[in-house]
Amino acid sequence: MRPKEVVVNDLMQHGYRYVRTEPEGKNFDPEFTPDLTPYQVLKLGAFGGKYMTDCKDEFPDWYDGVALCHERHAPELNYFGVNASQPLSVWRAKGWIYEEDPRGWFQWYCRYYSGRRIPEEDRRQIKRWKQMVRHVAQVKYACRKGDYTCHTRQRQALLHWAYDSRRI
């Protein structure tokens, strides 16, 4: 694959540049095995339809058929119809935001999926992703398989992290 430079100009980044060195959706770290692609996460209904609504230029094919709400976070657009998000201010206060991905983990995932690699940051974010398995275990323990009314906030949060909580 020929590396491709991407220039980002959205509401949170102006003139940010990165290079996609891997083919889209390929050559992931062996410890990183998400169930869902970024497009599937968005298409299923995530982040109240508000997340990255200004990023269509960066990821043009990922917004077809996705329910968006530019004005506000609309939990009813989420797959499980509940709010499972924390404000960005909380993420910043906890030190979870990497400077190059000011929107957090999912933005990192979108860029990783699309072929960007930043080894140290990739390891950090993959470690965070792996820690979500505790929520998978809690849903499995507490809920009957396929009971989507059980632990809906955890199930929605897992979707945000590319775990397909519909399978639990």
The reply to whether 85 falls in a domain is yes
pLDDT at 95: 84
25 domain residue, yes or no: yes
What was the pLDDT predicted at 73?
85
Burial 9-46 (b: 16+ CB within 10 A, else e): ebeebeebebebebeeeeeeeeebebebbbbebbbbbb
Structure confidence at residue 116 (pLDDT):
98
Give the model's pLDDT for residue 88. Answer: 80
Q: What is the Cα–Cα distance from 80 to 58, expressed in whole angstroms?
A: 27
Phi-psi map region of 101: left, alpha, beta (phi>0 left; psi -120 to 50 alpha): beta
Give the pLDDT of residue 32: 98
Assign 143 a pLDDT band (cuts: 50, 70, 90).
very high
Instruction: Check pLDDT > 90 for residue 89.
Output: no
Dihedral angle computed from the Cα positions of residues 90, 91, 92 and 97, in that order, rounded to the nearest 10 degrees: 180
Answer whether residue 72 shows pLDDT above 90.
Answer: no
Q: What is the 3-state secondary structure (H, E, C) of 60-114?
A: HHHCCCCCCCCCCCCHHHCCCCCCCCCCHHHHHHCCCCECCECCCHHHHHHHHHC
The reply to whether 145 falls in a domain is no
Establish if 162 belongs to a structural domain: no
Domain count, the chain: 1
**18's tokens:** 């990165």
Backbone angles phi, psi at 7, to 5 degrees: -110, 125
Does residue 77 belong to any structural domain of this protein?
yes
The arithmetic mean of pLDDT across residues 103-132, rounded, is 96
* pLDDT, averaged across the chain: 93
| Number of Cβ atoms within 10 Å of the Cβ of 127 | 11
Supply φ then ψ for residue 4, to 5 degrees: -125, 125
Which 8-state DSSP code applies to residue 61?
G
Evaluate if residue 150 carries a pLDDT over 90.
yes
pLDDT of residue 122: 98
Residue of 44, 58, 55, 68 whose CA lies nearest to 161: 44
- Reference 47, options 109, 3, 5; nearest CA is 109
Q: Are residues 83 and 74 in contact, defined by beta-carbon separation less than 8 angstroms?
A: no
Q: What is the pLDDT of residues 23-65, one digit of tens each?
A: 999 999 999 999 999 999 999 999 988 888 899 899 988 888 8
Within a domain: residue 79? yes
The answer to whether residue 150 sits within a structural domain is: no
- 165 belongs to a structural domain: no
Domain assignment of residue 9, given as a range? 4-131
